[in-house]
Amino acid sequence: MAALLEIRDLEVDLFTRRGVLRAIDRFSLTVQHGETLGLVGESGCGKSMTSLAIMGLLPVPPAKITGGAILLEGRDLTKLSDSKMQAVRGREVGIIFQDPMSSLNPVYTVGDQLVEAIRCHFKLDRRAAAKRALDLLDRVHIPDARRRLDAYPHELSGGMNQRVVIAMAIACEPKLLIADEPTTALDVTIQAQIIELLKEIQRESRMGMVFITHDLGVIADVADRVTVMYAGKKAEEAPVDVLFDDPRHPYTRGLIGATPKPGDERRHRLVEIPGTVPGLASRPKGCAFANRCPLVFERCHVEAPALVHQAEGHAAACFLADQMEDCDVASVGA
Ligand SMILES: Nc1ncnc2c1ncn2[C@@H]1O[C@H](COP(=O)(O)OP(=O)(O)OP(=O)(O)O)[C@@H](O)[C@H]1O
Ligand SMILES: [Mg+2]
């Protein structure tokens, strides 16, 4: 059976006045039915570009898919017409963004927006759609749901609005949900509640999920497997336990070092990998992580490492992947 989602060697270029810049570079990932894939990487790595590419929502121009395929149950979404893609959005693939207000219309009530989302894909009369809207608000645990149907987004808190957005995203029971930093804009307690809600929905519906975040702590909590992205490429992929127990890419090691464990006093301290992700215009010919890597050697500057297979479902794009246990990189990011 085909994977729920398979991105194969995706290339996204940005056509700018400064020339053609490659934002996504032969990037691949897969998500199985019912599985949560964590997609992690620092700001500017290309996570949102990837999610927009899946949804057919890339800003064209400047962006354009110039290579590869995005297969949803074997069907290449990059080949679909706009109208076919519109039918896929919402009905088969749902998306939640960081800021709930970017998905909600301030001039319509929550109920009207939900009913609209439902009727867009299902032939239901208004009454039946309104009943379903109410059920959905219950499903995302919005208290006093009947009254909230008549509320406008500005009358609700950020956490409540994100619940409404989740209700809209799952209104048509999509097979795949893309959650692009869905909790980053919320405070910590609300974050945990929203993550719990997404896990619950996923358990009940066997929906596949791509959960995008720069927070490995969240990944440990939600993901079955993880793809680590760096500068538009895959740095490492592994089942979630393997990634934390036996990371093979110095970048992954750095990210893990930068993740405070619960109760860790570093929670209150910002720990980061020194340096930043190179901008699109200054991506080097060799390994993009070379200028920040504690294990860098000459070859890294001239040649980009290919993915090295480690074990079933585990690969890392580093020349030293096989020797990582022997390398002292405990200090990366510490
Ligand atoms: N419309 C655009 N025009 C030009 N460059 C863009 C555009 N959108 C994104 N980029 C660039 O593409 C790269 C990838 O951006 P993307 O938004 O996918 O990163 P991200 O991993 O989602 O980061 P974040 O964690 O900050 O959301 C970045 O270098 C960004 O500056
Ligand atoms: Mg983003």
CA of 72 to the centre of ligand 2 (A): 22
The answer, yes or no, to whether residue 111 has pLDDT greater than 70, is yes
What average pLDDT is seen over the chain? 91
Q: Probe ligand 1: pick from 22, 45, 211, max atoms within 8 Å of CB?
A: 45
DSSP classification of residue 233: E
- Give percent of the chain with pLDDT exceeding 90: 79
Could you tell me the pTM of the whole model?
Answer: 0.92
Query: What number of helices (H) and strands (E) belong to the chain?
Result: 11, 12
* Atom 24, ligand 1: residue with shortest CA distance: 43
* Atom 17, ligand 1: residue with shortest CA distance: 48
- Across the range 95-124, mean pLDDT stands at 91
Q: Probe ligand 1: pick from 48, 65, 214, max atoms within 8 Å of CB?
A: 48
CA of 323 to the centre of ligand 2 (A): 32
Closest ligand to the CA of 52: 1
Domain extents in the chain: 252-334
CA of 47 to the centre of ligand 2 (A): 5
- Across the range 161-177, mean pLDDT stands at 93
| pLDDT for residue 332 | 47
- Across the range 182-208, mean pLDDT stands at 90
CA of 48 to the centre of ligand 1 (A): 7
CA of 145 to the centre of ligand 2 (A): 31
| pLDDT for residue 184 | 86
Q: CB neighbours (10 Å) of residue 290?
A: 21
Which of 2-16, 209-223, 258-272 has the highest mean predicted lDDT (pLDDT)? Answer: 2-16
* Index of the ligand 1 atom closest to the CA of residue 41: 21
| pLDDT for residue 250 | 95
| pLDDT for residue 261 | 59
| pLDDT for residue 236 | 98
The answer, yes or no, to whether residue 103 has pLDDT greater than 50, is yes
| pLDDT for residue 270 | 47
* Index of the ligand 1 atom closest to the CA of residue 16: 4
Residues 6+ apart with CB under 8 A from 63: 12, 13, 14, 15, 23, 49, 52
| pLDDT for residue 229 | 97
- Give percent of the chain with pLDDT exceeding 70: 94
| pLDDT for residue 159 | 93
Closest ligand to the CA of 21: 1
The answer, yes or no, to whether residue 331 has pLDDT greater than 50, is no
The answer, yes or no, to whether residue 296 has pLDDT greater than 90, is yes
CA of 277 to the centre of ligand 2 (A): 14
CA of 121 to the centre of ligand 2 (A): 28
* Atom 5, ligand 1: residue with shortest CA distance: 14
Residue 305: which of 256, 249, 253, 254 has the closest Cα? 249
Exposure string for 259-277, b = 16+ CB within 10 A, e = fewer: bbeeeeeeeeeeeebeeeb
The answer, yes or no, to whether residue 334 has pLDDT greater than 50, is no
Q: Tens digits of per-residue pLDDT, 208-264?
A: 999 999 889 899 999 999 999 999 999 999 999 999 999 999 999 999 887 665 555
- Across the range 303-309, mean pLDDT stands at 97
Q: Tens digits of per-residue pLDDT, 54-98?
A: 999 999 999 999 999 999 999 999 999 999 999 999 899 999 998
pLDDT category of residue 267 using cuts at 50, 70 and 90 = very low
Distance, first Cα to last Cα, the chain? 43
- Rounded to an integer, what distance in angstroms lies between the CA atom of residue 134 and that of residue 118? 11
* Atom 9, ligand 1: residue with shortest CA distance: 49
Residues 6+ apart with CB under 8 A from 218: 38, 183, 191, 195, 211
Kindly list the protein residues whose Cβ atom lies closer than 6 A to any atom of ligand 1.
14, 23, 41, 43-49, 59, 62, 214, 279-280
